[in-house]
A and B are shown apart, each in its own frame.
Chain A
Amino acid sequence: METKKMALIATKGTLDWAYPPFILASTAAALGYEVQIFFTFYGLQLLKKDLSGLKVSPLGNPGMPMKMPFGPKWFKGLNWNIPNAVQSLVPGYENLATSLMKQTIANNGVASIPELRELCVEADVKMIGCQMTVELFGFDHREFMDGIEYGGAATFFEFAGETDICLFI
């Protein structure tokens, strides 16, 4: 049987949106797929050596439940509807939301992003950084993890053109 292939384009650089590409890539690799991820624009944040800067922002995101990861069950079930105006005015609101999200992730036995990315590396998922974005955003290759390649759209198509699954995230 010929090896199946999957290509992903990762364009988001927040803690929540870091999950889909790494979950899909690690799972596909476990199923025997050959996987490549092309990180472009904000997605480049997911290639940083230090991932501790990834944050989640509930501001302007009505789909995001705001629940507390501690306390009795009735308390955890409460959804805190905090107006956008308040969210944007309170200093450190994003940091607070991010630490609550990380606690929720840990409580639910969901892997952390560094852990999932490491599993992808172990499974030989190939990661490519968009060179154009590196320059556009004034990044330095030294900020990114070792062992990745840099390329452009043509590099992506070389592999993507032969895949069974190709997703833009």
Chain B
Amino acid sequence: MNYDKELDARGLNCPLPILRTKKSLSELASGQILKINSTDPGSVKDMQAFAKQTGNELLSTAENNGEFIFMMRKH
């Protein structure tokens, strides 16, 4: 999947992945896509909750060897 910006949140723990996601999204235009890499298992549920509450769309969640990859489209 294509994306417009990538955020490396690996090694960070709650709530930093969410805070960095919010910051990265603010640098994107509406409709653009942010790819987020994280190692925090809690971020799976947190990204869903963040998307639901902020209106941004979580397009996909994938796991690869303990690393999580999220694709989020800015509202």
Give residues in A with beta carbon < 8 Å to B.
23, 26-27, 30-32, 108-111, 119
Contact = CB atoms under 8 A, between A and B. Distances in A.
A111 B16 contact: yes
A27 to B, nearest CB: 4
A121 to B, nearest CB: 13
Nearest to B53: A31
B15 A27 contact: yes
Interface residues of B, number: 15
A30 B13 contact: no
B13 A108 contact: yes
A122 to B, nearest CB: 9
Interface string B20-64: 011000000000000000011000000000100110000000000
A30 B18 contact: yes
Contacts of B14: 23, 110
Interface of B: 11-16, 18-19, 21-22, 39-40, 50, 53-54
Given A27-B18, A109-B40, A32 B53 contact: yes
| Consensus secondary structure, chain A interface | loop
Contact of B12 (A30, A31, A109): A109
A26 B53 CA distance: 15
A110 B16 CA distance: 8
A31 B16 contact: no
B50 A31 contact: yes
A30 B11 contact: no
28 contacts: A23-B15, A26-B15, A27-B15, A27-B18, A27-B19, A30-B15, A30-B18, A30-B19, A30-B21, A30-B22, A30-B50, A31-B54, A32-B53, A32-B54, A108-B13, A109-B11, A109-B12, A109-B13, A109-B16, A109-B39, A109-B40, A110-B13, A110-B14, A110-B16, A111-B12, A111-B13, A111-B16, A119-B19
